[in-house]
Amino acid sequence: MVQMASSKLIAVAFLSSLVAAPTMTTAANSNLFRDYIGAIFNGVRFTDVPINPGVRFDFILAFVIDYTTATEPPTPTDGRFNIFWQSSVLSASAVASIKQSNPNVRVAVSLGGATVNGRPVFFNITSVDSWVQNAVASLTGIVQEYNLDGIDIDYEQFQVDPATFAECVGRLVTALKSSGVIKFASIAPFDNADVQRHYQALWAGYGSVIDYVNFQFYAYSASTTEAQYVSHFDDQIANYPGGNILASFTTAPTTTSVPINTSLNACRTLQSQGKLYGIFIWAADHSRSQGFRFDTQAQALLANAPSY
């Protein structure tokens, strides 16, 4: 996940050329809370994180990546995914235990991320057919081994054009859903022109199989105001029409991202407007050093959400 501000420029000509996404009603308030976990390798456990019974709670394991570290630098594997979260702690038995203890918990896994061993991760394929075939097979194995419920798409750098990315990921999600391997899928874009081109192409072609948009609002600058945050949120409602857009903030130590209190205040405003479908946090690994107080605050806000 990114933690730096980035450009808002999106080519109007490109957008006008996209096939319109499926027409759906704009999401209203709901109580979905999502927390990424496992990428920092600091020993954080599912059981460390407070879980409010009044929310729908998704843990998102970070990450699986179609790269191998058997080479230096790491190299892409054309859709054959490997585990890059701290699986020694966040194990299959830990997944089973947290879900059994908390009926409101689901567990997903995120694909991609920004880096592997400090090197950039790129969406890179040999061919659409080979990538989809390999991705379906490898992810099916991981999802079934860990009894996961869904996937999240978080590629942030690309060596393919938007149409190719859309076809690969769209076919992957469609296949995994059609076979019953996963129940839901999300995407995690941020406000960078190239990133938006790729994810909006995916949305235009396959928005009907994508359940949530984990937009990285914290990637805007640290000077972002509450009103600007809300305006950015409205921009993404337009960019991903009909999508369940989630607000977000990062608990990572940073001076370049939107401050947490600004984000939470914006969430309250969005909730008062009937637009707060949910909140996600990057990441539980960082929240632990803060006693998870912001995770707790976000869940309390969602648990008390008025319905519209």
Catalytic residues: 156
Which residues, at least 6 apart from 303, have a Cβ–Cβ distance to it below 8 Å?
Answer: 31, 52, 54, 55
What's the distance, CA 298 to chain centroid?
A: 17
Amino acid at residue number 13: A
DSSP 225-242: -HHHHHHHHHHHHHHSTT
Closest CA to 276 of 296, 251, 304: 304
Q: Contact at 8 Å (CB) between 219 and 3?
A: yes
Within 10 Å of residue 120's Cβ, how many Cβ atoms? 12
CA distance 52 to 70: 41
Q: Which two tokens stand for residue 124?
A: 């890179």
Helices 226-239 and 193-206 pack at an angle, to 10 degrees, of 40
CA distance 164 to 97: 39
Closest CA to 213 of 34, 13, 2, 52: 34
